[in-house]
Amino acid sequence: MKFVQPVRDQEVLEDIKDFLRATNMRNYIMFSIGINTGFRISDILRLRVRDVMGSHISIVEKKTGKKKRALIQPDLKRELNDYIAGKAPNEYLIKSREGWNRPISRSMAYKIMRSIGDEFCLSEIGCHTLRKTFGYIFYYETTDKDIGMLMNYFNHSSEKVTLRYIGVEQDSMDAALKRHRA
């Protein structure tokens, strides 16, 4: 499996969102849920309309079996409300065009992410980019860079694991190498 990176540049992130909003709302919603909740793609694909009707999204993680609850941010809530208008509560959010009421496959989600990468010249992108982008933004937007809270949210064993996971360790290494002169 290829190692993927978060989307670090806020302008690129906004461009991706604008592109997806204009071309495919289903893909936009998948992307937005990922970068706003930090859920794994396997959990995002299992979401149904009823799961996003309240103020939070509550799931049992497929990978760990642990319960997780994420607040739906106001911007995402508005977009979700528009997206789910007229849909049945049991309908999958990220619905496949094949069959009746089935979510897209994980491999289709990966193809969508790769097409985003191709469109925006991002080579290290995949489904996990969504989760890592959430963590990267969370880390830099919390006033005290609360790595402990993020570590707990991701169920990681140490802060070091979380810093490496969201790309902060690489950023630090890159900055140090820029300062180094041979």
Active site residue 87: no
Q: Catalytic annotation on 181?
A: no
Helix 25-37 / helix 74-84 crossing angle, nearest 10 deg: 150
156 catalytic? Reply is: yes
Determine whether 180 is an active site residue. no
For residue 42, the tally of other CB atoms under 10 A from its CB is 14
Q: Is 56 a catalytic residue?
A: no
- Closest C-alpha among 152, 165, 169, 180 to residue 5: 165
Instruction: Tell me which of 28, 40, 92, 136 is the catalytic residue.
Output: 40
Cα-to-chain-centroid distance, residue 145: 19
Cβ of 128: how many Cβ atoms within 10 Å? 20
Annotated catalytic residue: which of 48, 68, 131, 132? 131
Q: Spot the catalytic one: 92, 128, 132, 139.
A: 128
- 128 is annotated as an active-site residue: yes
Q: In this structure, what token pair is assigned to residue 70? A: 């994420």
Alpha-carbon separation of residue 10 from 41, 43, 64, 75, 135 (angstroms): 21, 25, 30, 16, 13
Query: How many C-beta atoms surround the C-beta of residue 122 within 10 A?
Result: 19
- As annotated, the active-site residues are 40, 63, 128, 131, 156, 165
